[in-house]
A = this chain, B = another copy of it.
Amino acid sequence: MKNENNRRIKNKMSVLRAISPDLSRIRLVDQDCLSKRAAQIREALLQGLERPFKHLIDISLGDAHRGGLQPITFVRQVISACLYPSLLDSGRLPTDVKSRARNLLKQCEGESVGSYTATCGLPKIQHSLSEFISRRDRGVPSSPENIFITSGSQQLVLRLFVHGKGSLQTGIMTPVPSSPLFNMALSSLGGAVVPYHLCEEEGWTLRLDEMRRALATARRHCNPMGLYVINPGNPVGQVQSQKSIEDVIRFAAEEKLFLLADEVYQDSVHDPTAEFVSYKRVLHEMGPPYSNTVELASFNSASKGFMGECGLRGGYVEFVNLDSAVMGHIYTLFSTEACTAVMGQIALDIMANPPRSGDASYTAFFENRRNTLNNNAKRVQETLNSLDGMSCQPIRGGIYAFPQLHLPARAVAKAEEAGVAPDLLYCMLLLEEMGLCVGPGSEHLQRKDTHHLRYITHLPDEPIVQPRANSY
């Protein structure tokens, strides 16, 4: 009996070779290889190994604290006091920190941030967010029950309606340059990426003719159901005008597309002539039939913007014009996961309700906040445009620079020989020779035969390392 068992088992192939076919189609972003190599180099530097540089600078990710941005004191004080309420009895913390922490703890079950919250987050914070949205949108109404607090909400929303195979496969129109994580998530769920190109020459604008072309092409092989927009742009830093948003909304209405608006950079607009206007506000101001029919999900986060608290994992999505039956399904879907981290929820509460004039922390908070918003975008743009072999469209908003690299034909040929995207090879050399880690444009599905770099600009005022395009 034992021998028979052993034979049976030895013949066994891995059960898990049969992984989901949707998964076997996705591949890791190049960034991941760069980050791993950067970690090795950092470790080597720590161990005193010789390199052509003393420090490694990693500005490849949308992660402000990694790049050196300091956290906002008020945020950290409130969360610490919630975690360790003995701090409330000390004289160390400002009075408004203490009252905020006490109020938040009252909202938590057992007065502990260690308890689960409701599926969509603490009701009081949903409420704060709806008031924040309404103020932001000049009075457009917002209901707490349409706000779902969670990290990873984009992937959950995709799970709601991505399904089907072949010509019935759900397609989502996504911008090029794209968000690689969004595209990976969509592919891993079995959806089709339907790329539409932003027009670099016009400052990375959305063009309706290109969106119509992309949609018509996609309809031949899948079922496009959604339109994903990122405003202010990631990684390209455009800020859509009200007119541009109206055009997109009309297009979504005519083509029956669910609008997914990634608005996580809403408080990062640097160009004084530009303004962030939310899709929700424009939709409301357009009036019927748009305002009461176009379905919209708008995403925001404590990871970006002035807080940059990526590690706390706090984000939310607001739904507009969704059928109540669909809202029920969304609630059920979100219920399959436990609530998001309570610390991230608290960060969102502070984002929605910063200290007010007269509060003990008011001055320090806005001093902190101004420092984080006073970023390098303009200086980066000017510097990049002054370099040979680089050009950069105006960076109006967001947290990235995305300059075009005009590589010599020789460099492109060398990369192709090595089987590596030319801008990835450039990034690898920049990392090895200068200790500077930036991301390659290739992972954003850039237009054929163009090459770009991506890096975060949202950092404290420090000297910019100047990459040279001809360093091959």
Contact = CB atoms under 8 A, between A and B. Distances in A.
A119 B181 CA distance: 12
Contacts of A66: 109-110, 112, 115-116
Interface in A231-289: 250, 253-254, 256-258, 289
A357 interface: no
Contact of A18 (B26, B28, B161, B340): B161
A92 interface: yes
Contacts of A112: 65-66, 71, 311
Interface stretch (A210-218, A328-336, A386-394): A328-336
Contacts of A333: 23, 26, 188
A155 to B, nearest CB: 7
A295 B14 contact: yes
B225 A18 contact: yes
A247 B258 CA distance: 51
Contact of A63 (B84, B116, B335, B340): B116
A5 B110 contact: no
B19 A114 contact: no
B90 A84 contact: no
Contacts of A407: none
A364 interface: no
A60 to B, nearest CB: 11
Given A152-B338, A257-B15, A65 B161 contact: no
Given A15-B258, A80-B81, A185-B337, 20 more contacts: A9-B289, A10-B289, A16-B160, A16-B258, A17-B326, A19-B329, A20-B163, A24-B329, A27-B332, A63-B116, A65-B109, A66-B115, A108-B311, A114-B311, A151-B338, A152-B337, A152-B338, A181-B336, A311-B342, A313-B341
24 contacts: A16-B161, A16-B258, A16-B295, A17-B325, A18-B225, A19-B160, A19-B163, A61-B116, A66-B110, A66-B116, A90-B92, A113-B311, A114-B312, A115-B310, A115-B311, A116-B310, A151-B338, A159-B188, A181-B336, A184-B335, A185-B337, A188-B336, A311-B341, A313-B313
Interface of A: 5-6, 8-10, 12, 14-24, 26-29, 32, 35, 39, 58, 61, 63-69, 71, 73, 76-77, 79-81, 83-84, 87, 90, 92, 108-110, 112-119, 151-152, 155, 159-163, 181, 184-185, 188, 225-226, 250, 253-254, 256-258, 289-290, 293, 295, 303, 307-313, 322-323, 325-326, 329, 331-333, 335-344
